[in-house]
Chain A
Amino acid sequence: MVTAPATTTGMFDLHDVSVTYGSETAVAGVNMHIPPQAVTALIGPSGCGKSTLLRCLNRMNDELGNVKVGGRILLDGVEVNDRSVDPVELRMRVGQVFQKPNPFPFSIYDNVAYGPRTHGVRSRAALDGLVEDSLKRAALWNEVKDSLKKHAFELSGGQQQRLCIARALATAPEVLLMDEPASALDPISTQQIEDTIAELKRTVTIVIVTHNMQQAARISDQTAFMLRESMERPAQLVEVGDTRLMFTNPSDKRTESYITGRFG
């Protein structure tokens, strides 16, 4: 297994973060630390703002227009919403994997090479190296090394999702955001994605949104529970802490009833 150079960067600090769509505040008052080279899981019922909060971290909310992010979001101490921060650079450092596998209608190779090419890598040798390295880190290399020219749509759903992970890794991000990356996959593919995450967290900070509490318990080091108690009020962060502690001894009643399956 190829390992990227060990880094100690890729750490987020959120201070009083809020997200407002038009006149509606969807998320408010989020304070949390996201430690580097660890898996942080965001859990909570549908519509509790997990994905919205996730998209703040790579400023994908910018693309929606009409969205205002308040508070402070620091990546290694630098405010990501600062005017001096270019979203292009930010997204090189903070990659994202989406809910549904969304490979481009290109070959496997061109999918992985898209990010590096976007950022100016032209040399064939450098691209070959990045493609191989990224596919290895996403645990897909052995299955596709002889068919890199094959169209990405010929892969199975699980393979496509690992291709999307490889594509995100190719720009050497320090953080990987994953928005329910296994929810559209079968159990075996889910298992493979979880194994990949376990391997990746040695080099990359991972923030994963998941509906699946067993999954959060299995793969994450830290868990954050979010909840929107009524449509009149914005969603908030109920509790954040060590995953094992939270699942064995939650400090908030609402967390306890959610993880024991009383609602959601």
Chain B
Amino acid sequence: MKASTARVKRARAIESVAKTITGLAAFLVVGLVLFVIGYIVYRGAGSISWEFLTQPPRKNMTAGGIWPAIWGTMLLTFWTAAFSLPIGVMAGIYLAEYAPRGTFTRVVRLSIANMAGVPSIVYGLFGLSLFVLTFGFGRSVIAGALTLACLTLPVIITSTEEALRQVPKDLRQASLALGASRLRTIVRVVLPAAAPGIVTGSILGLSRAAGETAPILVTAVAFYAPIPSTVFGETMALPYHLYIMATQAVKPAPHIVWGTALVLVAGVGIINVAAATWRSRQRSKIRW
């Protein structure tokens, strides 16, 4: 009896230690995020001004704004979405709704897993040789966006497939039993129900792409460029601007570096929060 009481006490002590340690790890994550964001705001907030957000750089990049980089990142992200969303969503639909169990499907899945595992600088190299040189696009928005699209595709495919799989079979059955074709069932019933998941997953993937430096380093960006007039022009971009200002600037201008970092983090953050809010709104409307 006594021995077992001691064992219970011991178990309880171990339990509370485990709870404390795991709790600390969770707290560390929150602290880290708060610290990073807080520090960027602290260092960068002073640089933010109307001029900073709307004007091109001046005086050998030591003054002025970062508007061409903001616009360039928006442009790159838009075209990345334009290339990767249709292909990614369609591939996700194929995997979730049509793919038979077999070698071909296994190969497709393996390819997607591998695609997600390739380091982003390797995509940059790939984009350089295929889009920039072979296709002759040169360093351009389109070559950069195509490269970023390769990086984003696996995220979009996977989130589409998962969102579609979460739609109950019952709904598909109901639609088929009403005489609807497979395609109509997907388009009218399954896709709308899965839309929140698809959109959030895609936005997370795209915001990740918006912050990437390595893939656009050799495919799209320039140290200084005016706003490109076509997608075949080279562009500035926030992550690259940040990189170049932090490491290779002729004259260091830390206020521009931190200001740029703040704009990038804030932009991506706002989009992510908006996506998460929209999804939870949709979720509360749709429940099964």
Any chain B CB within 8 A of the CB of A162?
Answer: no
Report whether A168 and B178 are in contact in the complex, using a CB–CB cutoff of 8 Å. yes
Report whether A60 and B177 are in contact in the complex, using a CB–CB cutoff of 8 Å. yes
Any chain A CB within 8 A of the CB of B168?
Answer: yes
Taking chain B's interface residues, is the majority helix, strand, or loop, or is none over half, making it mixed?
helix
Report whether B177 and A104 are in contact in the complex, using a CB–CB cutoff of 8 Å. no
Report whether B174 and A98 are in contact in the complex, using a CB–CB cutoff of 8 Å. yes
Any chain B CB within 8 A of the CB of A72?
Answer: no
Tell me whether A119 and B179 are in contact in the complex, defined as CB-CB below 8 angstroms, given that A102-B173, A105-B193, A164-B174 are known contacts. Answer: yes
Any chain B CB within 8 A of the CB of A153?
Answer: yes
Tell me whether A105 and B178 are in contact in the complex, defined as CB-CB below 8 angstroms, given that A98-B170, A153-B286 are known contacts. Answer: no
Any chain B CB within 8 A of the CB of A114?
Answer: yes
Tell me whether A95 and B184 are in contact in the complex, defined as CB-CB below 8 angstroms, given that A100-B170, A104-B189, A153-B287 are known contacts. Answer: no
Residues of A within 8 A of B189 (CB): 104
Least distance between A167 CB and chain B CB atoms (Å):
7
Residues of A within 8 A of B286 (CB): 105, 153
Any chain A CB within 8 A of the CB of B49?
Answer: no
Any chain A CB within 8 A of the CB of B285?
Answer: yes
Least distance between B186 CB and chain A CB atoms (Å):
13
Tell me whether A91 and B176 are in contact in the complex, defined as CB-CB below 8 angstroms, given that A104-B189, A153-B286 are known contacts. Answer: yes
Which of B170, B174, B286 has most A Cβ within 10 Å?
B174
Name the residue of chain B whose CB is nearest to the CB of A111. Answer: B174
Residues of B within 8 A of A105 (CB): 171, 192-193, 285-286
Task: Count B interface residues, CB 8 Å.
Answer: 20
Report whether A104 and B175 are in contact in the complex, using a CB–CB cutoff of 8 Å. yes
Distance between Cα atoms of A163 and B268 in the complex (Å): 43
Which of B177, B192, B193 has most A Cβ within 10 Å?
B177
Report whether A167 and B176 are in contact in the complex, using a CB–CB cutoff of 8 Å. no
Distance between Cα atoms of A156 and B212 in the complex (Å): 49
Least distance between A178 CB and chain B CB atoms (Å):
11
Which of A87, A104, A115 has most B Cβ within 10 Å?
A104
Name the residue of chain B whose CB is nearest to the CB of A90. Answer: B179
Contact partner of B171 among A60, A87, A102, A151, CB < 8 A? A102
Distance between Cα atoms of A63 and B180 in the complex (Å): 12
Which of A60, A90, A102 has most B Cβ within 10 Å?
A102
Report whether B178 and A171 are in contact in the complex, using a CB–CB cutoff of 8 Å. yes
Q: Mark A152-182, 1 if CB is under 8 A from B, else 0.
A: 0100000000001001100100000000000
Distance between Cα atoms of A225 and B282 in the complex (Å): 45
Report whether B173 and A88 are in contact in the complex, using a CB–CB cutoff of 8 Å. no
Any chain A CB within 8 A of the CB of B181?
Answer: yes
Any chain B CB within 8 A of the CB of A118?
Answer: yes
Report whether A60 and B179 are in contact in the complex, using a CB–CB cutoff of 8 Å. no
Any chain B CB within 8 A of the CB of A236?
Answer: no
Distance between Cα atoms of A164 and B177 in the complex (Å): 11
Name the residue of chain A whose CB is nearest to the CB of B169. Answer: A102
Name the residue of chain B whose CB is nearest to the CB of A115. Answer: B178
Interface residues of B in 191-208 (CB under 8 A from A): 192-193
Which of B171, B174, B179 has most A Cβ within 10 Å?
B179
Any chain B CB within 8 A of the CB of A89?
Answer: yes
Name the residue of chain A whose CB is nearest to the CB of B168. Answer: A102
Report whether B193 and A115 are in contact in the complex, using a CB–CB cutoff of 8 Å. no
Task: Write the residues of chain B forming the contact surface with A, with a CB cutoff of 8 angstroms.
Answer: 168, 170-171, 173-181, 184, 188-189, 192-193, 285-287
Task: Write the residues of chain A forming the contact surface with B, with a CB cutoff of 8 angstroms.
Answer: 58, 60, 63, 87-92, 95-96, 98, 100, 102-105, 114-115, 118-119, 151, 153, 164, 167-168, 171
Q: Can you pick out 13 interface pairs between chain A and chain B where the beta carbons lie within 8 Å of each other?
A: A58-B177, A60-B177, A89-B179, A91-B177, A92-B178, A100-B170, A102-B168, A102-B173, A103-B174, A104-B175, A114-B175, A151-B285, A153-B285
Known: A92-B178, A105-B285, A118-B180. 5 other contacts (CB 8 A): A102-B173, A102-B174, A105-B286, A115-B178, A118-B184
